[in-house]
Amino acid sequence: MDPIDLVVPEELVSTLPEGSEEAVMAMDREITQYERYINDAIDAGEEEEAAAAAADVLDRLTERWEEYDGYIVELRAWGQSSIYAEVWCDFQYALIQQLYGHEALADALDRERNARIVDDGIRLSDV
């Protein structure tokens, strides 16, 4: 499986106000951590390990996406600019799309996420 390569979408960087280099550097650091975690699993040679690592990252991205989405509403309610929360929310979503855009990883990632749902337990009472 080819290594994963994630990027900060240029359209997100262009929506940030001037002087936001620190935010872009933070996004780059986050990407580096995620890439290293997934690529280490890919280098191990096991598709299941790579899918599990990607699913871990995906869970983290989803959690952060929801967190930043909540900040947007709260900031707007207080009359504050929500641009940074919006960009970080969109950044999480863009990374999720990039993970699913990796052809070799996408199918294995779906299988891993479905296996986790089954492991967590599906009950008719939950429906």
Question: What mean pLDDT is reported for the chain?
Answer: 88
pLDDT tens for each residue of 78-109: 988 899 999 999 999 999 999 999 888 888 88
User: In the predicted model, is pLDDT for residue 122 greater than 70?
Assistant: no
pLDDT for res 34: 96
What is the rounded end-to-end Cα distance, in angstroms, of the chain? 37
Quote the pTM value.
0.84
Q: What is residue 125's DSSP assignment? A: G
Pairwise CA distance, residues 63 & 49, whole Å: 21
Tokens in use for 71? 């900040």
Burial (CB < 10 A; 0-12, 13-18, 19+), residue 112, is buried
94-105 in b/e burial notation, b at 16+ Cβ within 10 A? Answer: bbeebbeebeeb
